[in-house]
Structure 1
């Protein structure tokens, strides 16, 4: 896992890379590539909002301290991913000053991604919890249990619970929950 950790980036570099990708896509004539442009822009807006509004809860910080976790967090992600835009900044902020967090790009590391498929799909973000020797001790993702239930509901009955409704409900959930479920579930894995 060490080689992946070494090529992973900080949140600041991830944001910078995403901004650079947006600039490239805005100047692109490739319509297929441009389909991702709005996802990148929306992701940046969401990430900046979460970074401004998320504040770790004291009881969750206490739980982390009680675990005496000395490892690292490696997140498989991409800047266009809606779930990642709500999850990555929460995790980074929560562990800031305690445990190092880095992000590795899914599309450039498919060999790693293929080890952590969700029902056969390359769903992201996937959060790898590493020990002090850079070994994966656990993983989590691609979204909290409540979000997975919404997805199951959509897949079971897409006519009555369409993709737009699912995505809207998921974003409302993320906003109202304020990262609590993300961190609670992650702490269960540490």
Structure 2
């Protein structure tokens, strides 16, 4: 998780951001036109995006939230806006966004909205991973009333980030890292992200 920083996120930006249904529909529409999000519409990027649609659909259907997470999410009083920076071709986003949305759906106080990284680099650059990487997804939790930043999460669960960093240190090819990472997600079955959000929700509700 990155250090919390002050950032100028406007109500207009939030109002014009996608909700989850709109985000999914936008991706489907782009694919129907032979495109993905961003500027790179290569066969490889289209393949990643199609795979991600399948991943999100599977997680939308199968993800069951932990009872403790449901309880914590349902007890939040102060309204929060979760602004999620993402891209359709991003595998980590596909593994996390369905869970994030299910958490938001558990609480009338949480409002999740989605924006594309490459269309909002001035926002992205204020929430870099390790101060240098435009890694997505990145969730920015805002006080809905003041738009103060309460915290961030992303681009992946801490346990996944740890093994990802180790694989990078080993200088493994990108494709091999991606395959190993998706295997990690499959074996984890969303447990890590759910456990992290129990602690995050408790922390953010106190800010």
The interval holding the TM-score normalised by the smaller chain is 0.7 to 0.9
Q: Are 2:143 and 1:131 equivalent residues in the alignment?
A: yes
Residue 144 of structure 1 corresponds to which residue in structure 2?
A: 157
The answer to whether the 8 A contact 1:56-1:94 is kept is: yes
Residue 92 of structure 1 corresponds to which residue in structure 2?
A: 101
The answer to whether the 8 A contact 1:75-1:126 is kept is: yes
Distance 1:77 1:165, change over 3 A: same
The answer to whether the 8 A contact 2:86-2:116 is kept is: yes
Distance 1:43 1:146 in 2: 21
Aligned length: 183
Residue 157 of structure 1 corresponds to which residue in structure 2?
A: 170
C-alpha deviation, 1:67, in angstroms: 4.7
Distance 1:92 1:118 in 2: 22
Greater helix share, structure number: 1
Structure 2 residue runs of 5 or longer lacking an equivalent are 1-8
Tell me: higher relative CO, structure 1 or 2? Use CA pairs within 8 A at least 6 residues apart. Answer: 2
Distance 1:19 1:73 in 2: 23
Q: Structure 1 length normalisation: TM-score?
A: 0.88
Q: Alignment partner of 1:84: what SS?
A: helix
Higher mean C-alpha deviation, range 106-115 or range 165-174: 165-174
Cα deviation 1:54-111 (Å, max 9, x = unaligned): 0111111123344545212111001110000010011101220412211111111111
Distance 1:16 1:67 in 2: 29
The two structures, once aligned, show a CA RMSD in angstroms of 1.8
